[in-house]
Amino acid sequence: MAYIKGISYYLPEKVVTNEELIKEFPEWSVDKVAKKVGVYSRHIAGENETAGDMAEKAALKLFDEYKISPSEVDFVLLCTQSPDYFLPSTACILQNRLGIPTTAGAFDYNLGCSGCVYGMAMAKGLIAGGIAKNVLLLTAETYNKYLHPSDKSNRSIFGDGAAACLISTEGIAEIGEFSLGTDGSGAEKLMVKTGSARCHQPTGNSVIDDEGHTRFDDYLYMDGGGIFNFTLDAVPAMMKDILLKNSMTNEDVDYYVFHQANKFMLNTIRKVCVLPKDKFYVNLEETGNTVSSTVMIAMKQCLNAGTIHKGMKVMVSGFGVGLSWGGTILQF
């Protein structure tokens, strides 16, 4: 069995409020931004601050808060789509910077909004296979470095941040069975097209999509409508599969912590899936969508507030870029 032993997170110092954002886009209002996406401010990584830097700070907070020694860690998993370098893996660099033994395994994996859940699944597998006993799961993203300055929609949604979690043979929450899924036919719905091997050089090209948004080859593009429709198809089926694999019914679930995409999408999922409002977490106001870190940040906020406590069964899930989705049950 595998358990979550502790969770911490880090948010960059720089904060951009809606008031500051609308100075660049006067056609918008503070209330319009807040009502549409549920975000009032978001943290932005510094010019020279990387995903690795943020992951390191989240890990150090975890070690301090839960009195964990780096010498206990025998595997490091880092979920990021904005690594410090193409190679080596940022996780390998963090092993050294955090003082984790050289006998520990370490690698990055490239996933976005479902990344936290996939990390839990891999960590559980490493423990079940006897390969590791204490897996440091890190999530860190600097999506704002991928956004075009004129992309008001995505700049209003995304925030930067990192989270850290120790998954071990004992802890505060047992990790249940997983439901995972992938549909690569939707890859272009959320993509940074240039900069890697398929299209290495910037093109400078841009086109207007069906929703009137500009799709820049050299910056992050999100087909908001396409992602929304995908989510409404994937999440209800995933939830049924999670319940089936964990021999549960909806009535057995005490709380739901889903990827904090945006307020409108979360409220729509809640209504479509007929979930009680008081059992469904929505809080993006001061962080925005931090991609792979949203689930762990949300769980930490719930633990701090006492919303989640011992004895509760919590469904967690992530969904987005890939297209990819995944979820499980945490027994606190």
Residues of the chain falling short of pLDDT 70: none
Query: Contact at 8 Å (CB) between 304 and 216?
Result: no
Tokens of 236: 């209800």
The pLDDT value given to residue 61: 98
Domain range for 96: 3-171
Amino acid symbol at 86: F
Q: How many CB atoms lie within 10 A of CB 277?
A: 9
> Which CATH number does the domain housing residue 187 bear?
3.40.47.10
The pLDDT value given to residue 36: 82
The pLDDT value given to residue 29: 82
Helix, strand or coil for residue 237?
Answer: helix
Nearby residues of 183 by Cβ (< 8 Å), 6 or more positions away: 230, 234, 322, 323, 324
Whole-angstrom Cα distance, residue 62 to residue 104?
A: 18
| 201 and 152 within one domain | no
Nearest alpha-carbon partner for 187 in 249, 138, 136, 230: 230
| 190 and 138 within one domain | no
| 156 and 30 within one domain | yes
| 224 and 111 within one domain | no
| 219 and 153 within one domain | no
| 8 and 154 within one domain | yes
| 161 and 13 within one domain | yes
| 186 and 166 within one domain | no
Tokens of 267: 């409220």
Where a domain ends, among 171, 197, 213? 171
The pLDDT value given to residue 324: 98
| 150 and 200 within one domain | no
Whole-angstrom Cα distance, residue 263 to residue 33?
A: 11
Provide the domain count of the chain.
2
Where a domain ends, among 116, 146, 171? 171
pLDDT in tens, 183-193: 999 999 999 99
| 129 and 91 within one domain | yes
Amino acid symbol at 32: K
Whole-angstrom Cα distance, residue 240 to residue 235?
A: 9
Instruction: Indicate the pTM of the whole model.
Output: 0.96
Where a domain ends, among 138, 171, 204? 171
| 187 and 116 within one domain | no
